[in-house]
Amino acid sequence: MFRKRIKENWACLVIGLFFLVTLIYLLLFGEDIILQIHDFLDSWVAVYKVMGADGLFFLGEPVPILGGVSRNYLPSEFKLYSILYMVLPAFTAVIVNWYLKILLSVWGFKSLAQKCLTEYRNHKNIILLCGFLYGILPVYPPAALGFASLPLFTANLAGLYQNPKPRHYVFLFFYPLFADFSVFGIFICGYLFLFIIIDWIRKKKLPVGMLLAIGTLFAGYLIMEWRLFYVMFFEREENIRSTFVSTYLSLGEAIKEGLSAFAKGQYHSGSLHTYIVLPVCMLYLVGHNGKLLKEKRGKELLQDRYNQIILLIIFNAAVCILYSLKGFNDFLKAVMPSLAGFNFSRTLWFNPFLWYLAFLMVLCRIPKKWIQYGLILMAFMVLCMKDEVYNHLHKNLSYAAHKVLDREYETTGLTYEEFYSEKLFAKVKEEIGYEGEWAVAYGMHPAILEYNEIHTLDGYLNIYSADYKDKFRKVIAPALEESDSYASYYDNWGARAYLFSEEVSYAPARFMETESAMLRMDVQAFKELGGEYIFSRVGISNKEELQLEEVGTFREESSPYKIYVYRVE
Protein backbone atom coordinates (compact mmCIF):
# COMPACT_ATOMS: atom_id res chain seq x y z
CA MET A 1 0.00 0.00 0.00
CA PHE A 2 2.79 2.44 0.96
CA ARG A 3 4.78 1.60 -2.18
CA LYS A 4 1.66 2.15 -4.31
CA ARG A 5 1.10 5.59 -2.77
CA ILE A 6 4.71 6.53 -3.38
CA LYS A 7 4.42 5.43 -7.01
CA GLU A 8 1.24 7.45 -7.51
CA ASN A 9 2.51 10.59 -5.76
CA TRP A 10 6.31 10.53 -6.09
CA ALA A 11 6.16 14.10 -7.45
CA CYS A 12 5.34 15.20 -3.89
CA LEU A 13 8.69 13.77 -2.77
CA VAL A 14 10.48 15.65 -5.57
CA ILE A 15 8.84 18.92 -4.57
CA GLY A 16 9.58 18.20 -0.91
CA LEU A 17 13.23 17.56 -1.76
CA PHE A 18 13.38 20.91 -3.58
CA PHE A 19 11.97 22.62 -0.50
CA LEU A 20 14.50 20.85 1.73
CA VAL A 21 17.50 21.80 -0.42
CA THR A 22 16.46 25.44 -0.75
CA LEU A 23 15.73 25.70 2.97
CA ILE A 24 19.19 24.33 3.79
CA TYR A 25 20.65 26.95 1.44
CA LEU A 26 18.73 29.67 3.26
CA LEU A 27 19.85 28.39 6.65
CA LEU A 28 23.47 28.40 5.48
CA PHE A 29 23.46 31.81 3.79
CA GLY A 30 20.68 33.72 5.56
CA GLU A 31 20.36 37.24 4.13
CA ASP A 32 23.58 36.74 2.21
CA ILE A 33 21.65 35.72 -0.92
CA ILE A 34 20.98 37.41 -4.25
CA LEU A 35 17.53 38.92 -4.83
CA GLN A 36 16.46 41.16 -7.69
CA ILE A 37 17.12 44.83 -6.93
CA HIS A 38 15.38 46.54 -9.87
CA ASP A 39 11.66 46.98 -9.19
CA PHE A 40 11.86 44.94 -5.99
CA LEU A 41 14.52 45.70 -3.36
CA ASP A 42 14.75 49.28 -4.64
CA SER A 43 11.05 49.84 -4.09
CA TRP A 44 8.37 47.63 -2.57
CA VAL A 45 10.36 45.68 -0.01
CA ALA A 46 11.44 48.97 1.56
CA VAL A 47 7.91 50.43 1.35
CA TYR A 48 6.40 47.42 3.11
CA LYS A 49 9.21 47.46 5.68
CA VAL A 50 8.47 51.13 6.47
CA MET A 51 4.75 50.48 6.90
CA GLY A 52 5.40 47.43 9.03
CA ALA A 53 8.03 49.08 11.24
CA ASP A 54 5.88 52.18 11.84
CA GLY A 55 2.59 50.29 12.16
CA LEU A 56 1.03 52.26 9.29
CA PHE A 57 -0.81 49.50 7.43
CA PHE A 58 -4.23 50.27 8.95
CA LEU A 59 -3.71 53.97 9.63
CA GLY A 60 -4.36 57.04 7.53
CA GLU A 61 -1.16 58.81 8.48
CA PRO A 62 1.34 59.79 5.76
CA VAL A 63 4.15 57.30 5.17
CA PRO A 64 7.65 58.85 5.59
CA ILE A 65 8.68 58.37 1.96
CA LEU A 66 8.66 61.13 -0.67
CA GLY A 67 8.10 63.75 2.01
CA GLY A 68 5.14 61.91 3.54
CA VAL A 69 3.18 60.11 0.81
CA SER A 70 -0.54 59.52 1.36
CA ARG A 71 -1.24 56.05 2.79
CA ASN A 72 -4.06 55.68 0.24
CA TYR A 73 -1.54 55.51 -2.59
CA LEU A 74 0.08 52.40 -1.14
CA PRO A 75 -1.07 48.74 -1.24
CA SER A 76 -4.11 47.61 0.73
CA GLU A 77 -3.78 46.20 4.22
CA PHE A 78 -6.23 43.46 3.20
CA LYS A 79 -3.71 41.55 1.10
CA LEU A 80 -1.94 38.35 2.03
CA TYR A 81 1.31 39.88 0.79
CA SER A 82 0.79 42.90 3.07
CA ILE A 83 -0.11 40.67 6.00
CA LEU A 84 3.22 38.83 5.64
CA TYR A 85 5.05 42.11 6.24
CA MET A 86 2.76 42.96 9.16
CA VAL A 87 3.60 39.81 11.10
CA LEU A 88 7.08 38.87 9.85
CA PRO A 89 10.46 40.58 9.43
CA ALA A 90 10.86 41.88 5.87
CA PHE A 91 13.38 39.27 4.71
CA THR A 92 11.31 36.42 6.17
CA ALA A 93 8.22 37.82 4.44
CA VAL A 94 10.04 37.78 1.09
CA ILE A 95 11.05 34.13 1.55
CA VAL A 96 7.67 32.95 2.86
CA ASN A 97 5.99 34.64 -0.10
CA TRP A 98 8.21 32.63 -2.48
CA TYR A 99 7.33 29.30 -0.87
CA LEU A 100 3.63 30.18 -0.69
CA LYS A 101 3.72 30.91 -4.42
CA ILE A 102 4.96 27.37 -5.12
CA LEU A 103 2.50 25.67 -2.77
CA LEU A 104 -0.43 27.68 -4.11
CA SER A 105 0.53 26.84 -7.70
CA VAL A 106 0.78 23.11 -7.05
CA TRP A 107 -2.51 23.11 -5.15
CA GLY A 108 -4.14 25.11 -7.94
CA PHE A 109 -3.04 22.74 -10.71
CA LYS A 110 -4.24 19.76 -8.69
CA SER A 111 -7.65 21.41 -8.12
CA LEU A 112 -7.87 22.42 -11.76
CA ALA A 113 -7.29 18.82 -12.87
CA GLN A 114 -10.07 17.65 -10.57
CA LYS A 115 -12.56 20.25 -11.81
CA CYS A 116 -11.76 20.86 -15.49
CA LEU A 117 -9.31 18.25 -16.73
CA THR A 118 -10.98 15.16 -15.37
CA GLU A 119 -9.67 13.07 -18.30
CA TYR A 120 -6.14 13.65 -16.96
CA ARG A 121 -6.76 12.64 -13.34
CA ASN A 122 -4.60 9.54 -13.71
CA HIS A 123 -1.58 11.74 -14.51
CA LYS A 124 -1.18 12.91 -10.91
CA ASN A 125 2.58 13.29 -11.00
CA ILE A 126 2.59 15.25 -14.26
CA ILE A 127 -0.10 17.57 -12.87
CA LEU A 128 1.86 18.19 -9.66
CA LEU A 129 5.14 18.73 -11.51
CA CYS A 130 3.57 21.18 -13.98
CA GLY A 131 2.12 23.05 -11.01
CA PHE A 132 5.61 23.08 -9.50
CA LEU A 133 7.15 24.43 -12.73
CA TYR A 134 4.55 27.17 -12.78
CA GLY A 135 5.24 27.91 -9.10
CA ILE A 136 8.95 28.56 -9.61
CA LEU A 137 8.53 30.88 -12.61
CA PRO A 138 10.44 34.17 -12.20
CA VAL A 139 7.45 36.49 -11.85
CA TYR A 140 7.20 39.91 -10.18
CA PRO A 141 7.41 39.06 -6.43
CA PRO A 142 4.77 41.51 -5.09
CA ALA A 143 2.29 39.98 -7.56
CA ALA A 144 3.51 36.40 -7.10
CA LEU A 145 0.49 35.22 -5.12
CA GLY A 146 -1.76 36.67 -7.81
CA PHE A 147 0.02 34.60 -10.46
CA ALA A 148 0.01 31.51 -8.24
CA SER A 149 -3.70 31.79 -7.43
CA LEU A 150 -4.89 31.80 -11.07
CA PRO A 151 -5.17 27.97 -11.35
CA LEU A 152 -7.12 27.78 -8.09
CA PHE A 153 -9.36 30.66 -9.19
CA THR A 154 -10.06 28.90 -12.50
CA ALA A 155 -10.86 25.64 -10.73
CA ASN A 156 -13.27 27.43 -8.38
CA LEU A 157 -14.95 29.19 -11.30
CA ALA A 158 -15.34 25.90 -13.16
CA GLY A 159 -16.95 24.35 -10.10
CA LEU A 160 -19.30 27.33 -9.79
CA TYR A 161 -20.31 27.08 -13.45
CA GLN A 162 -20.98 23.34 -13.21
CA ASN A 163 -22.72 23.26 -9.83
CA PRO A 164 -22.76 26.57 -7.92
CA LYS A 165 -22.46 26.34 -4.15
CA PRO A 166 -22.01 28.98 -1.41
CA ARG A 167 -18.34 28.08 -0.95
CA HIS A 168 -17.61 29.14 -4.54
CA TYR A 169 -18.92 32.64 -3.87
CA VAL A 170 -17.11 32.83 -0.54
CA PHE A 171 -13.87 32.05 -2.38
CA LEU A 172 -14.58 34.77 -4.97
CA PHE A 173 -15.29 37.35 -2.28
CA PHE A 174 -11.97 36.69 -0.55
CA TYR A 175 -9.97 36.21 -3.74
CA PRO A 176 -8.73 39.85 -3.60
CA LEU A 177 -6.53 38.70 -0.70
CA PHE A 178 -4.29 37.12 -3.35
CA ALA A 179 -4.55 39.27 -6.48
CA ASP A 180 -4.56 43.05 -6.94
CA PHE A 181 -7.41 44.65 -8.86
CA SER A 182 -5.14 46.78 -11.05
CA VAL A 183 -2.99 43.80 -12.01
CA PHE A 184 -5.41 40.87 -12.19
CA GLY A 185 -8.90 41.75 -10.97
CA ILE A 186 -9.89 44.21 -13.68
CA PHE A 187 -8.89 41.73 -16.39
CA ILE A 188 -10.58 38.79 -14.68
CA CYS A 189 -13.82 40.79 -14.58
CA GLY A 190 -13.38 41.58 -18.28
CA TYR A 191 -12.77 37.92 -19.16
CA LEU A 192 -15.81 36.87 -17.15
CA PHE A 193 -17.96 39.46 -18.88
CA LEU A 194 -16.85 38.18 -22.31
CA PHE A 195 -17.54 34.60 -21.21
CA ILE A 196 -21.05 35.54 -20.08
CA ILE A 197 -21.82 37.17 -23.45
CA ILE A 198 -20.49 34.19 -25.42
CA ASP A 199 -22.26 31.65 -23.19
CA TRP A 200 -25.50 33.63 -23.40
CA ILE A 201 -25.36 33.68 -27.20
CA ARG A 202 -24.38 30.02 -27.43
CA LYS A 203 -27.01 28.65 -25.00
CA LYS A 204 -29.59 31.42 -25.44
CA LYS A 205 -29.85 31.60 -21.66
CA LEU A 206 -28.32 34.20 -19.38
CA PRO A 207 -25.83 32.55 -16.97
CA VAL A 208 -27.11 34.22 -13.81
CA GLY A 209 -24.64 32.35 -11.62
CA MET A 210 -21.70 33.84 -13.50
CA LEU A 211 -23.20 37.34 -13.29
CA LEU A 212 -23.45 36.85 -9.54
CA ALA A 213 -19.83 35.67 -9.59
CA ILE A 214 -18.69 38.99 -11.11
CA GLY A 215 -20.75 40.91 -8.56
CA THR A 216 -19.31 38.92 -5.66
CA LEU A 217 -15.74 39.31 -6.90
CA PHE A 218 -16.14 43.03 -7.47
CA ALA A 219 -17.73 43.49 -4.03
CA GLY A 220 -14.67 41.81 -2.51
CA TYR A 221 -12.39 44.20 -4.38
CA LEU A 222 -14.42 47.26 -3.35
CA ILE A 223 -14.04 46.34 0.31
CA MET A 224 -10.49 44.99 0.35
CA GLU A 225 -9.02 47.62 -1.96
CA TRP A 226 -11.10 50.55 -0.77
CA ARG A 227 -8.05 52.83 -0.82
CA LEU A 228 -7.54 52.25 -4.55
CA PHE A 229 -11.18 53.00 -5.38
CA TYR A 230 -11.15 56.05 -3.13
CA VAL A 231 -8.16 57.41 -5.08
CA MET A 232 -9.81 56.52 -8.41
CA PHE A 233 -13.20 58.10 -7.77
CA PHE A 234 -13.02 60.49 -4.79
CA GLU A 235 -9.45 61.74 -4.42
CA ARG A 236 -9.35 65.34 -5.63
CA GLU A 237 -5.58 65.59 -5.51
CA GLU A 238 -3.92 65.04 -8.88
CA ASN A 239 -1.37 62.21 -8.87
CA ILE A 240 1.65 61.62 -11.09
CA ARG A 241 -0.11 59.08 -13.29
CA SER A 242 -1.93 61.95 -14.96
CA THR A 243 1.46 63.43 -15.89
CA PHE A 244 2.82 60.30 -17.56
CA VAL A 245 3.69 60.76 -21.23
CA SER A 246 3.27 57.50 -23.10
CA THR A 247 5.39 56.44 -26.04
CA TYR A 248 3.33 54.81 -28.76
CA LEU A 249 4.41 52.53 -31.59
CA SER A 250 3.54 52.36 -35.25
CA LEU A 251 1.35 49.45 -36.31
CA GLY A 252 4.36 47.54 -37.63
CA GLU A 253 6.35 48.12 -34.45
CA ALA A 254 3.34 47.15 -32.32
CA ILE A 255 2.88 43.87 -34.21
CA LYS A 256 6.57 43.11 -33.77
CA GLU A 257 6.22 43.85 -30.05
CA GLY A 258 3.16 41.58 -29.83
CA LEU A 259 4.95 38.70 -31.56
CA SER A 260 7.85 39.11 -29.15
CA ALA A 261 5.41 39.10 -26.22
CA PHE A 262 3.84 35.89 -27.55
CA ALA A 263 7.20 34.16 -27.95
CA LYS A 264 9.14 35.57 -24.99
CA GLY A 265 6.61 37.03 -22.57
CA GLN A 266 7.22 40.12 -20.46
CA TYR A 267 9.86 40.43 -17.75
CA HIS A 268 7.39 41.10 -14.90
CA SER A 269 5.60 37.88 -15.84
CA GLY A 270 8.64 35.78 -16.70
CA SER A 271 7.53 32.42 -18.06
CA LEU A 272 10.70 31.17 -19.79
CA HIS A 273 8.42 29.22 -22.12
CA THR A 274 10.39 30.08 -25.27
CA TYR A 275 12.85 27.17 -25.17
CA ILE A 276 10.83 24.05 -24.30
CA VAL A 277 7.18 24.84 -23.58
CA LEU A 278 6.47 26.94 -26.69
CA PRO A 279 8.04 24.52 -29.23
CA VAL A 280 6.27 21.54 -27.66
CA CYS A 281 2.91 23.34 -27.61
CA MET A 282 3.24 24.69 -31.16
CA LEU A 283 4.33 21.33 -32.61
CA TYR A 284 1.39 19.65 -30.93
CA LEU A 285 -0.96 22.41 -32.13
CA VAL A 286 0.05 21.86 -35.76
CA GLY A 287 -0.03 18.08 -35.54
CA HIS A 288 -3.27 17.84 -33.59
CA ASN A 289 -5.21 20.30 -35.75
CA GLY A 290 -3.74 18.84 -38.93
CA LYS A 291 -5.09 15.47 -37.85
CA LEU A 292 -8.55 16.93 -37.15
CA LEU A 293 -8.67 18.55 -40.57
CA LYS A 294 -7.40 15.41 -42.29
CA GLU A 295 -10.16 13.40 -40.62
CA LYS A 296 -12.69 16.06 -41.66
CA ARG A 297 -13.43 16.99 -38.05
CA GLY A 298 -12.97 20.72 -38.55
CA LYS A 299 -16.01 21.52 -36.39
CA GLU A 300 -14.05 20.29 -33.36
CA LEU A 301 -11.29 22.88 -33.78
CA LEU A 302 -12.97 25.60 -31.72
CA GLN A 303 -14.46 23.09 -29.29
CA ASP A 304 -11.07 21.70 -28.32
CA ARG A 305 -9.95 23.11 -24.96
CA TYR A 306 -6.33 23.10 -26.03
CA ASN A 307 -7.09 25.30 -29.03
CA GLN A 308 -9.14 27.63 -26.83
CA ILE A 309 -6.16 28.09 -24.51
CA ILE A 310 -3.83 28.92 -27.42
CA LEU A 311 -6.40 31.39 -28.79
CA LEU A 312 -6.57 33.09 -25.39
CA ILE A 313 -2.77 33.37 -25.35
CA ILE A 314 -2.93 35.00 -28.79
CA PHE A 315 -5.74 37.31 -27.63
CA ASN A 316 -3.65 38.51 -24.68
CA ALA A 317 -0.72 39.26 -27.00
CA ALA A 318 -3.12 41.09 -29.35
CA VAL A 319 -4.26 43.35 -26.50
CA CYS A 320 -0.58 44.16 -25.95
CA ILE A 321 -0.42 45.25 -29.61
CA LEU A 322 -3.51 47.44 -29.26
CA TYR A 323 -2.23 49.05 -26.07
CA SER A 324 0.91 50.13 -27.95
CA LEU A 325 -1.21 52.16 -30.40
CA LYS A 326 -2.18 55.78 -29.73
CA GLY A 327 -5.69 55.42 -31.18
CA PHE A 328 -6.58 52.60 -28.81
CA ASN A 329 -5.34 54.56 -25.78
CA ASP A 330 -7.27 57.67 -26.84
CA PHE A 331 -10.39 55.51 -27.08
CA LEU A 332 -9.81 54.12 -23.56
CA LYS A 333 -9.35 57.60 -22.11
CA ALA A 334 -12.56 58.80 -23.76
CA VAL A 335 -14.68 55.80 -22.76
CA MET A 336 -13.15 54.99 -19.34
CA PRO A 337 -11.33 58.11 -18.02
CA SER A 338 -11.19 56.72 -14.47
CA LEU A 339 -9.03 53.88 -15.76
CA ALA A 340 -6.44 56.19 -17.28
CA GLY A 341 -3.03 54.92 -16.22
CA PHE A 342 -4.03 51.25 -16.08
CA ASN A 343 -1.62 49.14 -18.07
CA PHE A 344 -3.87 47.02 -20.27
CA SER A 345 -0.90 45.15 -21.72
CA ARG A 346 -0.91 43.25 -18.43
CA THR A 347 -3.17 40.73 -20.12
CA LEU A 348 0.25 39.20 -20.83
CA TRP A 349 0.49 38.40 -17.12
CA PHE A 350 -2.09 35.64 -17.65
CA ASN A 351 -0.06 33.91 -20.36
CA PRO A 352 2.44 32.08 -18.10
CA PHE A 353 -0.46 30.19 -16.53
CA LEU A 354 -1.98 29.46 -19.96
CA TRP A 355 1.34 28.27 -21.42
CA TYR A 356 1.96 25.82 -18.59
CA LEU A 357 -1.64 24.64 -18.65
CA ALA A 358 -1.28 23.97 -22.39
CA PHE A 359 2.04 22.22 -21.67
CA LEU A 360 0.29 20.03 -19.09
CA MET A 361 -2.39 19.03 -21.61
CA VAL A 362 0.20 18.10 -24.24
CA LEU A 363 2.19 16.02 -21.76
CA CYS A 364 -0.91 14.14 -20.66
CA ARG A 365 -1.74 13.34 -24.29
CA ILE A 366 1.75 11.92 -24.96
CA PRO A 367 1.62 8.12 -24.45
CA LYS A 368 5.27 7.54 -23.49
CA LYS A 369 6.23 8.44 -19.90
CA TRP A 370 9.94 8.89 -20.63
CA ILE A 371 9.05 11.66 -23.08
CA GLN A 372 6.67 13.27 -20.57
CA TYR A 373 9.17 13.38 -17.73
CA GLY A 374 12.07 14.19 -20.05
CA LEU A 375 10.27 17.35 -21.23
CA ILE A 376 9.44 18.32 -17.64
CA LEU A 377 13.10 17.88 -16.66
CA MET A 378 14.25 20.01 -19.61
CA ALA A 379 11.75 22.74 -18.70
CA PHE A 380 13.05 22.66 -15.12
CA MET A 381 16.66 22.93 -16.32
CA VAL A 382 15.73 26.03 -18.35
CA LEU A 383 14.23 27.59 -15.22
CA CYS A 384 17.45 26.88 -13.33
CA MET A 385 19.91 27.96 -16.00
CA LYS A 386 18.31 30.92 -17.81
CA ASP A 387 18.95 34.34 -16.33
CA GLU A 388 15.70 36.27 -16.13
CA VAL A 389 14.95 39.47 -14.19
CA TYR A 390 13.25 37.80 -11.20
CA ASN A 391 14.87 34.39 -11.54
CA HIS A 392 16.18 34.20 -7.97
CA LEU A 393 16.70 30.46 -8.42
CA HIS A 394 19.26 31.01 -11.19
CA LYS A 395 20.87 33.99 -9.45
CA ASN A 396 21.52 32.00 -6.29
CA LEU A 397 22.72 28.88 -8.10
CA SER A 398 25.29 31.13 -9.79
CA TYR A 399 26.12 32.88 -6.51
CA ALA A 400 26.51 29.58 -4.63
CA ALA A 401 28.82 28.29 -7.38
CA HIS A 402 31.02 31.38 -7.00
CA LYS A 403 31.09 30.86 -3.24
CA VAL A 404 32.08 27.20 -3.55
CA LEU A 405 34.78 28.01 -6.11
CA ASP A 406 35.92 30.95 -3.96
CA ARG A 407 35.53 33.42 -6.82
CA GLU A 408 34.41 37.03 -6.58
CA TYR A 409 30.81 37.50 -7.65
CA GLU A 410 29.95 40.20 -10.21
CA THR A 411 30.41 43.69 -8.79
CA THR A 412 26.75 44.64 -9.23
CA GLY A 413 25.55 41.47 -7.51
CA LEU A 414 24.96 42.79 -4.02
CA THR A 415 23.29 40.40 -1.63
CA TYR A 416 20.15 41.33 0.29
CA GLU A 417 22.25 41.95 3.40
CA GLU A 418 24.79 44.07 1.52
CA PHE A 419 22.22 46.11 -0.37
CA TYR A 420 20.42 47.33 2.75
CA SER A 421 23.50 47.24 5.06
CA GLU A 422 21.48 47.49 8.27
CA LYS A 423 24.50 47.30 10.59
CA LEU A 424 26.19 50.19 8.81
CA PHE A 425 23.14 52.46 8.93
CA ALA A 426 22.41 51.58 12.55
CA LYS A 427 25.95 52.78 13.30
CA VAL A 428 25.47 55.95 11.20
CA LYS A 429 22.17 56.86 12.87
CA GLU A 430 23.60 56.35 16.33
CA GLU A 431 26.71 58.44 15.68
CA ILE A 432 24.92 61.38 14.06
CA GLY A 433 22.04 61.28 16.55
CA TYR A 434 19.42 60.78 13.86
CA GLU A 435 15.87 61.45 15.11
CA GLY A 436 13.60 61.27 12.06
CA GLU A 437 14.82 64.30 10.09
CA TRP A 438 14.08 64.35 6.35
CA ALA A 439 16.93 63.12 4.15
CA VAL A 440 17.85 62.21 0.57
CA ALA A 441 20.20 59.65 -0.99
CA TYR A 442 22.94 60.41 -3.50
CA GLY A 443 24.62 57.69 -5.56
CA MET A 444 22.27 54.99 -4.24
CA HIS A 445 18.61 54.06 -4.10
CA PRO A 446 16.54 55.93 -1.47
CA ALA A 447 15.03 52.54 -0.60
CA ILE A 448 18.24 51.78 1.28
CA LEU A 449 17.55 54.70 3.62
CA GLU A 450 13.84 53.88 3.85
CA TYR A 451 14.54 50.27 4.82
CA ASN A 452 16.78 51.57 7.60
CA GLU A 453 13.98 53.82 8.93
CA ILE A 454 15.41 57.08 7.63
CA HIS A 455 12.67 59.42 6.42
CA THR A 456 13.20 60.36 2.79
CA LEU A 457 12.16 63.24 0.56
CA ASP A 458 13.11 61.13 -2.45
CA GLY A 459 11.89 57.67 -3.37
CA TYR A 460 10.46 55.34 -6.00
CA LEU A 461 6.68 54.96 -6.27
CA ASN A 462 4.50 54.67 -9.36
CA ILE A 463 1.82 56.85 -7.79
CA TYR A 464 2.07 59.88 -5.51
CA SER A 465 1.03 63.54 -5.51
CA ALA A 466 1.69 65.48 -8.73
CA ASP A 467 2.11 68.58 -6.59
CA TYR A 468 4.96 66.92 -4.70
CA LYS A 469 6.54 65.90 -7.99
CA ASP A 470 6.65 69.59 -8.95
CA LYS A 471 8.10 70.58 -5.56
CA PHE A 472 10.82 67.94 -5.73
CA ARG A 473 11.62 68.99 -9.28
CA LYS A 474 12.73 72.36 -7.90
CA VAL A 475 15.26 70.50 -5.73
CA ILE A 476 16.79 68.65 -8.69
CA ALA A 477 16.27 71.40 -11.29
CA PRO A 478 20.05 72.16 -11.60
CA ALA A 479 20.71 68.50 -12.45
CA LEU A 480 17.83 68.32 -14.95
CA GLU A 481 19.03 71.47 -16.69
CA GLU A 482 22.30 69.71 -17.51
CA SER A 483 20.76 66.45 -18.66
CA ASP A 484 18.02 66.22 -21.29
CA SER A 485 17.70 62.48 -20.69
CA TYR A 486 17.08 62.84 -16.94
CA ALA A 487 14.77 65.81 -17.53
CA SER A 488 12.67 63.72 -19.93
CA TYR A 489 12.82 60.72 -17.59
CA TYR A 490 11.52 62.75 -14.65
CA ASP A 491 9.02 65.02 -16.43
CA ASN A 492 7.46 62.29 -18.58
CA TRP A 493 7.37 59.68 -15.82
CA GLY A 494 8.69 60.75 -12.43
CA ALA A 495 8.16 57.55 -10.45
CA ARG A 496 11.81 57.81 -9.44
CA ALA A 497 12.23 61.11 -7.60
CA TYR A 498 16.00 60.89 -7.14
CA LEU A 499 19.05 63.16 -6.94
CA PHE A 500 20.18 62.56 -10.51
CA SER A 501 23.76 62.93 -11.69
CA GLU A 502 25.68 62.27 -14.90
CA GLU A 503 28.76 61.55 -12.76
CA VAL A 504 27.33 59.15 -10.21
CA SER A 505 24.81 56.40 -10.89
CA TYR A 506 22.26 55.31 -8.31
CA ALA A 507 22.51 51.76 -9.66
CA PRO A 508 23.84 49.37 -7.00
CA ALA A 509 27.56 48.64 -7.21
CA ARG A 510 30.09 47.05 -4.93
CA PHE A 511 32.69 49.63 -5.89
CA MET A 512 32.08 53.23 -6.93
CA GLU A 513 33.87 54.45 -10.05
CA THR A 514 34.68 57.78 -8.44
CA GLU A 515 35.52 58.94 -4.92
CA SER A 516 33.90 62.36 -5.29
CA ALA A 517 31.47 64.21 -7.55
CA MET A 518 29.51 67.43 -7.76
CA LEU A 519 25.95 67.47 -6.45
CA ARG A 520 23.66 69.63 -8.52
CA MET A 521 20.65 70.58 -6.41
CA ASP A 522 18.78 73.64 -5.17
CA VAL A 523 19.56 73.69 -1.45
CA GLN A 524 16.91 76.33 -0.69
CA ALA A 525 14.19 74.18 -2.29
CA PHE A 526 15.54 71.23 -0.29
CA LYS A 527 15.22 73.24 2.92
CA GLU A 528 11.68 74.30 2.05
CA LEU A 529 10.69 70.63 1.91
CA GLY A 530 12.19 70.18 5.37
CA GLY A 531 15.35 68.48 4.15
CA GLU A 532 18.27 68.26 6.55
CA TYR A 533 20.53 65.29 5.72
CA ILE A 534 22.18 63.99 2.54
CA PHE A 535 23.47 60.42 2.64
CA SER A 536 25.95 59.90 -0.18
CA ARG A 537 28.15 57.12 -1.51
CA VAL A 538 30.69 59.64 -2.76
CA GLY A 539 32.24 62.75 -1.34
CA ILE A 540 30.43 65.90 -2.53
CA SER A 541 33.12 68.06 -4.13
CA ASN A 542 31.05 71.27 -4.14
CA LYS A 543 29.93 71.01 -0.50
CA GLU A 544 31.18 74.54 0.32
CA GLU A 545 29.26 76.03 -2.59
CA LEU A 546 26.09 74.25 -1.43
CA GLN A 547 26.82 75.22 2.18
CA LEU A 548 26.81 71.63 3.40
CA GLU A 549 28.38 70.55 6.65
CA GLU A 550 30.21 67.22 6.44
CA VAL A 551 28.98 65.27 9.46
CA GLY A 552 31.17 62.23 8.94
CA THR A 553 32.28 59.29 6.81
CA PHE A 554 31.26 55.78 7.82
CA ARG A 555 32.30 52.21 7.01
CA GLU A 556 31.33 48.84 8.43
CA GLU A 557 32.96 45.48 7.81
CA SER A 558 29.88 43.65 6.50
CA SER A 559 28.91 46.43 4.05
CA PRO A 560 30.46 47.33 0.68
CA TYR A 561 29.39 50.96 1.16
CA LYS A 562 31.33 54.00 2.28
CA ILE A 563 28.73 56.54 3.40
CA TYR A 564 29.31 60.28 3.52
CA VAL A 565 26.77 62.18 5.61
CA TYR A 566 26.10 65.91 5.06
CA ARG A 567 23.78 68.33 6.79
CA VAL A 568 22.48 71.60 5.34
CA GLU A 569 23.78 74.60 7.26
Residues 99-134: tens digit of each pLDDT: 999 999 999 999 999 888 878 778 899 999 999 999
Which of 196-200, 249-253, 338-342, 452-456 is modeled with the greatest confidence? 452-456
Q: Mind listing the pLDDT tens digit for each residue in 281-291?
A: 999 999 999 98
The answer, yes or no, to whether residue 276 has pLDDT greater than 60, is yes
Burial of residue 498 (number of CB atoms within 10 Å: 0-12, 13-18, 19+): buried
Question: What are residue 77's DSSP bridge partners?
Answer: none
Coil, strand, or helix at residue 539?
Answer: strand
Quick one: pLDDT at residue 2?
60
Distance CA 96, CA 100 (A): 6
Q: Mind listing the pLDDT tens digit for each residue in 514-526?
A: 899 999 999 999 9
248 φ/ψ sector (left φ>0, alpha ψ -120 to 50, else beta):
beta
* Range with the poorest average pLDDT among 28-42, 223-237, 352-366, 445-459: 223-237
**Band of the pLDDT at 247, cuts 50, 70, 90?**
confident
- Whole-prediction pTM: 0.94
Residue 535 φ/ψ, nearest 5 degrees: -100, 120
**Band of the pLDDT at 340, cuts 50, 70, 90?**
low
Distance CA 333, CA 341 (A): 9
Residue 459 φ/ψ, nearest 5 degrees: 160, 180
| Chain-centre distance for alpha carbon 298 | 41
Residue 493: closest CA among 389, 345, 341: 341
Q: What are the boundaries of each domain within the chain?
A: 2-30+75-400, 421-568
Distance CA 483, CA 480 (A): 5
| Sign, CA torsion 285/286/289/292 | negative
**Band of the pLDDT at 405, cuts 50, 70, 90?**
confident
Q: What is the arithmetic mean of pLDDT over 176-202?
A: 93
| Residue % of the chain over a pLDDT of 90 | 77
